[in-house]
Chain A
Amino acid sequence: MHDNPFAPPTATADSPEGRGLVFSEEGVRVVSSLATWMRGLSTFYYVGVAFLALGACGALVTGSAAGVGVALGFSIVMLGLITAAIWLRSAASGFERGVYSDDEMTLGQGFRNLRAYLILMGIISILSLGSTILEVM
């Protein structure tokens, strides 16, 4: 059976996904401020990376095996910090875009990056807890 092209448009249900959100001014302010602080923290991570890079160069200059080991350790920490900073900034952008565009899809992107950041922090905090317990024992 063919559809009648002259038939009036029928009311169809909205797609359950991808509909606009309506955020209050307060909500927009909170998320905007959250994104600013998240970016601020990521900037400190980059500052930490710069100091670690200087330390790694200083350790390499010694030319000893211990120096190379220290530089390698610093490089791993730098990699972790850069990754954390990127995820933090992406999460901030996702939340901000989600609020300004009133779209839950970009909010979901923000949560994806926040989850990645929290997984990294979770692994670090579990390792830290383990080392503290080992120190006590």
Chain B
Amino acid sequence: MDARRIPFTEEDERRIASAATWGVIVAVSSLATGVISLLVQMQALSSLPPGLSRLGSGFFVKGALGASLVQAVIVVLINVWLLQASLSFRKVALTDEADQAHLLTGFRRLRAYFMVQVVLLMLLVGLVLFGVVVGLSS
């Protein structure tokens, strides 16, 4: 795809700009939620009762902290991709210089955004099925 102008109708350009704006809203609010949740979880882990934190000094606290960090990294990653896709689509709607290049960049980031979600859901379903099978067999 070369970097040339795509003759979208004015209405379509408005729709693309609006989709991009909502993409930014989704990404920013999800990032904010992820950051707040991570801070709350870290605070909760640091304020565990002394007995409990001694009991799980290695495994429990580190495991929970690790899970929270992994979750935070995933949230940041996919929402940054959505943000980048939205900014590229915004350029498609608002500029006329390199529509196809911006469109391809936007589609690539959007593909990564959806791909990671599907892969994570597949892993989740796999884990649930594994848990059910193990639970039934024991």
Contacts and interface: CB of A to CB of B under 8 A. Distances in A.
B29 A126 contact: yes
Given A121-B26, A122-B26, A125-B30, A23 B1 contact: yes
Contact of B15 (A21, A95, A112, A132): A112
Interface in B79-138: 89, 100, 103-104, 107-108, 110-111, 114-115, 117-118, 121, 125
B11 to A, nearest CB: 7
A111 B12 contact: yes
A118 B36 contact: no
A47 B121 CA distance: 11
Contacts, number: 111
B104 to A, nearest CB: 5
18 contacts: A17-B7, A22-B1, A27-B104, A30-B107, A37-B114, A38-B114, A40-B114, A41-B118, A95-B107, A107-B6, A108-B16, A111-B12, A115-B22, A118-B19, A118-B23, A119-B22, A122-B29, A132-B36
Interface of B: 1-2, 6-9, 11-12, 15-16, 18-19, 22-23, 25-26, 29-30, 32-33, 36-37, 40, 89, 100, 103-104, 107-108, 110-111, 114-115, 117-118, 121, 125
Given A122-B26, A129-B32, 16 more contacts: A17-B8, A18-B7, A21-B6, A23-B100, A27-B104, A30-B107, A41-B117, A44-B121, A47-B125, A104-B7, A108-B11, A111-B15, A115-B19, A115-B22, A122-B29, A125-B30
